[in-house]
């Protein structure tokens, strides 16, 4: 069993990004990322801090907007409009989920698609579906594809099962695996909570991408011998033995599944570090496109 080290692969990508940032700076451009947080969600605040810190480490321009939970839809749209018009900002990210009174879809649609480094704007969703190389691909599926490439997993002709059908991971992941070229050319099945004989469908996979958002849902019964498993889940569960009283686990029951796998990602240290690495990659890409 091979452990796919997302932390090490993410560091390799950050070095590539750093080189791109230095080249852009030599041409008079500094990639800029604006991150907007509405409300006090602790996990979201931690994500925003880590994104801000990573920008600084890579020498990128970073602007952080921490807005109260009472911020109105109109005020948030006005901020997005200002960021769209700001030439120092090449990427805009509004942290999800916003408070219930905010229409998240309207906010996403207000972001300039050329600055939509999360890849959620309908223009970018369509471009991914069309195989347009100018698409911004959502960071987590893009990171999963890069993990497969770096781990030497052959996707061409493989049967990939994507467990989960969200717009954030499941659907774009399936589209990436179907595209022609490296990291693609797979035969893809998208499975979900309504799939009949879910364990049987997952067992048919050469490559299983678990993104269902349920802690340790994928047990040994879901995985055939020699499969490759990418665990997208990040779930905090109670752990009385831990100093914090909780621990992070994936959507895969790692201890029982790992022995059956040819390769598997751990949680933490698998897909998680890749998501932020691909966000930085997308921001540099946006700067390159907007300044050429």
Residues forming the active site: 51, 95, 118
Q: Cα torsion for 12, 249, 128, 81, to the nearest 10°?
A: -90
Q: What are phi and psi of 78, to 5 degrees?
A: -65, -40
| Other Cβ atoms closer than 10 A to 246 | 13
d(CA 162, CA 164): 6
């Amino acid at each position: 069993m091979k452990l796919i080290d997302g932390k090490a692969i993410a560091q390799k990508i950050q070095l590539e990004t750093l080189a791109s940032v230095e080249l852009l700076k030599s041409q008079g451009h500094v990639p800029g990322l604006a991150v907007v947080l509405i409300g006090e969600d602790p996990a979201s605040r931690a994500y925003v801090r880590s994104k801000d810190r990573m920008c600084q480490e890579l020498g990128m321009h970073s602007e952080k907007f921490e807005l109260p939970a009472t911020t109105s839809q109109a005020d948030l749209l006005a901020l997005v409009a200002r960021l769209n018009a700001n030439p120092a900002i090449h990427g805009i990210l509004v942290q999800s989920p916003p408070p219930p009174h905010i229409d998240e879809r309207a906010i996403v649609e207000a972001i300039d698609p050329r600055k939509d480094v999360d890849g959620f704007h309908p223009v970018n969703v369509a471009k991914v579906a069309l195989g347009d190389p100018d698409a911004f691909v959502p960071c987590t599926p893009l990171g999963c594809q890069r993990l497969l490439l770096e781990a030497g997993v052959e996707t061409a002709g493989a049967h990939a099962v994507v467990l989960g059908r969200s717009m954030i991971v499941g659907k774009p992941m399936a589209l990436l695996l179907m595209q022609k070229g490296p990291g693609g050319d797979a035969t893809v099945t998208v499975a979900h909570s309504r799939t009949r004989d879910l364990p049987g469908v997952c067992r048919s996979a050469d490559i299983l991408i678990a993104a269902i958002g349920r802690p340790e849902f994928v047990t040994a019964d879901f995985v055939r011998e020699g499969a490759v498993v990418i665990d997208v889940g990040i779930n905090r569960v109670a752990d009385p033995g831990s100093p914090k009283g909780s621990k992070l686990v994936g959507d895969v029951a790692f201890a029982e599944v790992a022995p059956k796998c040819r390769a598997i990602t751990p949680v933490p240290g698998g897909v998680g570090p890749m998501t932020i690495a691909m966000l930085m990659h997308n921001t540099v890409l946006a700067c390159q496109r907007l300044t050429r």
